[in-house]
Structure 1
Amino acid sequence: MLKEFCAENYTNIPYAIAKGANRIELCDNLAAGGTTPSTGVIEEVLSYAGEKSIPVMTIIRPRGGDFVYNDTELKIMHTDLIEAKKMGTDGVVLGCLTPSGWLDEEALELLLDTAEGLQVTFHMAFDTIPAERQFAAIDWLAAHQVERILTHGGTAGTPIEDNFVRLQELIDYAGERLTILPGGGISFENAQHVAETLGVKEVHGTRIVDLSE
């Protein structure tokens, strides 16, 4: 089972890797759901994780709040993505929506084109897409070579177990085309149960490994 540790800055990364984290999602400002970390943080994390052969997925998100971005915010994201790619990030985590809750296809095409050669995760913006359109969103993202979708399978804050039925529907629909990566409410305590119940090989969380002494 691959354990993706959602990290805020550099602080806990060495310890998380020592405790069994196999991949890092690198963020700043987790209180706002995660925003783009500074170039200094990205550089240090890539250096440390690289020595341990641990891949790093850098979030590209200019602010907290919704996932509807104006032209200036998209320009910021584009620049941040270029910089993260130059520094050698293994992948990026991103998501853009329209006010109606559908994928912002134009913005995503620009960002995905720029991210060519990197792994791409579409983050939990997916959970705010209306449920009846989520299968179509999987089709679009799979067709555009997005590697995985990070999803809680339901409303933020609900127990992950409450969303097993929906997560299983998404996993079955995606098939081999892309990975559905469950996250939100998964910890070292229930990760094995989640993985076995859903038949997944990857799980995600801020407590995916035990950081206590």
Structure 2
Amino acid sequence: MIKEFCAENFTDIPAAIRSGAGRIELCDNLAVGGTTPSTGVIEEALQYAGEHSVPVMTMIRPRGGNFVYNDIELKIMHTDLIEAKKIGTDGVVFGCLTDTNWLDEEALELLIETSEGLQITFHMAFDSLSKENQFKAIDWLAERGVDRILTHGGSAGTPIEENIPHLKELIAYAAERIIILPGGGISYQNLDQVKEALNVDEVHGTKIIAINE
């Protein structure tokens, strides 16, 4: 079981790794769902996590809000991704949509190509797609070598338990072509329940491990 700890900056990473985090998603500004961390934060996180053989997935997101980005925002994302790759990040986390509720294929193809050699996670922008388009998106992303999709399985704020049926559908449809990574509302307290219900090997969250206990 890989417990992916969603870390805002460097602060909690040492304690998280000591407490059993097997992978780090590194971001800034969790209040808006996470944005790209600074290069200094990425460097320190990679150095510390690397010493403990824990991979780091760096968030590439220029702002909070929706996932429909203009050309300047996409240029920022592309530059940030190149810099994170230079520093040595193990993987990147991103997602781009169109205003017609589909994947921004052109933007994603550029980012995926630039991410060659890195793990790629498509983040919770996935949850903004219609359910019909989610299944199509699994096909599209899997065909292009994306490693995993981070999803809550439903609208933000809904209990993860309510979304178990849809998450099961996504996992079954993915059929091991791409990892469905459940997150949002999973904590060390309900982790076993979610794992048993979904039979997954990876989970994600800010409270996925009990840091202070």
TM-score class, shorter:
over 0.9
SS in 1 for 2:86: helix
Give CA deviations for 1:60-92 in whole Å, capped at 9, x if unaligned: 000000000000000000000000000000000
For residues 202 and 160 of structure 2, the distance between their equivalents in structure 1, rounded to whole angstroms, comes to: 15
For residues 195 and 133 of structure 1, the distance between their equivalents in structure 2, rounded to whole angstroms, comes to: 25
For residues 199 and 209 of structure 1, the distance between their equivalents in structure 2, rounded to whole angstroms, comes to: 18
Alignment map for 1:3-152 (pairs within 5 Å) = 3-152=3-152
1:176 CA drift (Å): 1.3
Give CA deviations for 1:150-204 in whole Å, capped at 9, x if unaligned: 0000000000000000000000000110100000000011111111110100000
> What is aligned with 1:155?
155
State percent identity of aligned pairs.
Answer: 73
For residues 90 and 192 of structure 2, the distance between their equivalents in structure 1, rounded to whole angstroms, comes to: 26
For residues 34 and 41 of structure 2, the distance between their equivalents in structure 1, rounded to whole angstroms, comes to: 14
Give CA deviations for 1:86-128 in whole Å, capped at 9, x if unaligned: 0000000000000011000000000000000100000000000
SS in 2 for 1:132: helix
For residues 162 and 21 of structure 1, the distance between their equivalents in structure 2, rounded to whole angstroms, comes to: 25
SS in 2 for 1:185: coil
Runs (5+) with no aligned partner, structure 1:
none
Instruction: For 1:164, give the aligned amino acid.
Output: I
- TM value normalised by structure 1: 0.99
Instruction: For 2:20, give the aligned amino acid.
Output: G
For residues 101 and 122 of structure 2, the distance between their equivalents in structure 1, rounded to whole angstroms, comes to: 14
For residues 112 and 148 of structure 1, the distance between their equivalents in structure 2, rounded to whole angstroms, comes to: 13
> What is aligned with 1:180?
180
- Give the RMSD, CA atoms, in angstroms: 0.5
Q: Give the ranges of 4+ consecutive aligned residues of structure 1 lying more than 3 Å apart after TM superposition.
A: none
> What is aligned with 1:165?
165
Give CA deviations for 1:25-66 in whole Å, capped at 9, x if unaligned: 000000000000000000000000000000000000000000
- TM value normalised by structure 2: 0.99
For residues 88 and 112 of structure 2, the distance between their equivalents in structure 1, rounded to whole angstroms, comes to: 16
For residues 130 and 185 of structure 1, the distance between their equivalents in structure 2, rounded to whole angstroms, comes to: 21
For residues 17 and 211 of structure 1, the distance between their equivalents in structure 2, rounded to whole angstroms, comes to: 9
